[in-house]
Amino acid sequence: MKDREYYHILTKKLKYPAGNFINGSYMSAQSGETLATINPATNKVLTTIAASNEFDVNAAVANAREVFNSGVWSELHPSKRKSILLHFSHLIRENLEELAVLESLDSGKPIADCLNVDVPETANCIAWHGEAQDKLYDQISPSGNDALGMIVREPIGVVGAVLPWNFPLLMTAWKLGPALATGNSVVVKPSEMTSLSTLRLAELALEAGIPPGVFNVVTGTGAAVGSALGLHHDVDAISFTGSTATGRRFLEYSAQSNMKRVVLETGGKSPCVVFEDADLDRVAEHLACSFLGNMGQTCTANTRLIVHNSCKEALLSRLKVECDKWKIGDPLDPQTRLGPLVSKEHLSKVTSLIQKGRDEGAEVIFGGDLAVDTGYFLSPIIFDNVNSNMTVSREEIFGPVLSVLSFDTEEQAISLANDTEYGLAASLFTNDLTRTHRLSRKIQAGTVSVNCYSEGDISTPFGGYKLSGFGGKDNGVDAHDQYSEKKTIWIDLSS
Ligand code: NAD
């Protein structure tokens, strides 16, 4: 069994990426400026990344456009694109430990999650889209014998992908897989807090045979790099994952520039609705995974428990036992399930929302301690006696914080579940089949998981209702729509 020491030794062998990755090689920001990237477990600087600006974005987009127009990737035979993407996926698996350690150091994620989920799912996503794209057919319209209406898909062109810090590799893959599979060139802007694994991914893509310039990475702040991509007149589409507030800006950027297509995957405040007939041990296990996984920094996390009054106390006592199993500590220890939050600023945002919960009268029934180490650690906290007007019930906290609300009737349960401006995901626990069908339709969320906490898998479309999303879906073949134009070719056959 590989232990903490093993992964610490691996950190010493890491070679950190150096600069933006444009046209197949690393280069510094044109200004020469850099930004420190911090290990949230130790509060120490890991390395620096390029602090880019619009000039670097212009260079990356111009290169991506030139390569797109050359056809070297956009017009490559689908079977060839497939084999390159499968090789890329294979290289990701071959470099599992290096990528996992990089991800863990940079984001604070437990190494076990990186090894078992983030990196393998990244490889799986690239392979899935690589496999899918040479099995999708175009269409012929039912236009009779006098005309032939062909509906063909074309790559959209240059895609900007703007990404968050909570799943750095996996969110990159969710955009990159379908965008590359459909023949586009992509400029990725990772979060300034977690750029390292994405840069390494770009190197592996090149090694796999993806031509230089097809996958460029520009690092830096949202204000400098994200906005320059959003406002760029030669970027055809933006696929964004991040907060709702930033997502709104991308709609404005699009309106102010070239009306580029914008797809947004944004925030959440997901309910977990539990009926009295549910298997409470199972609920406790899944709910703990949902609100504690990735230290609560997951967009779909069930952060509002909505439980039938008759089983509330029984569930909460099981849930506390479950939460006790989540060991906090060094992310590089394979036994650790809870690492630090991503940054000092984020920790202070989460703790101030927790304080607001206390001030507004919610009752802490589990946890409540603050930092437990030198980094940005926070132990889990459960608030009881929450009502839906309280801040902890309305705002996305993005930390290991659960709010408990309760109900007596099915109508109350649905009304509480939908009483949010978000609509990303929901869990429903009941063993009543007809209730399952009835309620899963009534809950306003992009994914409703029944008797589990789940986001579905790579084959199912993922995206939010209400303020949780806009314009399209990630995952499944639906994701290909984000990155393709549909063209009608109409051929007159009448003469
Ligand atoms: P964020 O909105 O702060 O940042 C996301 C990206 O946008 C980063 O790359 C950032 O640099 C960039 N950015 C920030 N300000 C910008 C600006 N003014 N102009 C252009 N770009 C800008 O989000 P975050 O804090 O990195 O991530 C957490 C959020 O992401 C949470 O709200 C979470 O729910 C959401 N999220 C959603 C999903 C989903 O699929 N729905 C998945 C993961 C995370």
- Over its length of 495 residues, how does the chain's per-residue pLDDT go in tens digits? 699 999 999 999 999 998 999 999 999 999 999 999 999 999 999 999 999 999 999 999 999 999 999 999 999 999 999 999 999 999 999 999 999 999 999 999 999 999 999 999 999 999 999 999 999 999 999 999 999 999 999 999 999 999 999 999 999 999 999 999 999 999 999 999 999 999 999 999 999 999 999 999 999 999 999 999 999 999 999 999 999 999 999 999 999 999 999 999 999 999 999 999 999 999 999 999 999 999 999 999 999 999 999 999 999 999 999 999 999 999 999 999 999 999 999 999 999 999 999 999 999 999 976 555 678 999 999 999 999 999 999 999 999 999 999 999 999 999 999 999 999 999 999 999 999 999 999 999 999 999 999 999 999 999 999 999 999 999 999 999 999 999 999 999 998
Q: Which atom of ligand 1 is nearest to the CA of 244?
A: 32
Q: Is the CB of 467 under 6 A from ligand 1?
A: no
Q: Is the CB of 236 under 6 A from ligand 1?
A: no
We find that the CATH architecture of domain 270-466 is 3-Layer(aba) Sandwich (3.40)
Q: What's the gap in Å between 406 CA and the centre of ligand 1?
A: 31
Q: How far apart are CA 373 and CA 356, in angstroms?
A: 23
CATH 3.40.605.10 boundaries in the chain: 4-266
Q: Which residues are catalytic?
A: 265
Q: Is the CB of 265 under 6 A from ligand 1?
A: yes
User: Atom 22 in ligand 1: which residue has the minimum CA distance?
Assistant: 222
Query: What pTM was estimated for this model as a whole?
Result: 0.97
Q: What's the gap in Å between 194 CA and the centre of ligand 1?
A: 12
Q: Which atom of ligand 1 is nearest to the CA of 167?
A: 43
Domain 4-266 belongs in CATH node 3.40.605.10: yes
CATH 3.40.309.10 boundaries in the chain: 270-466
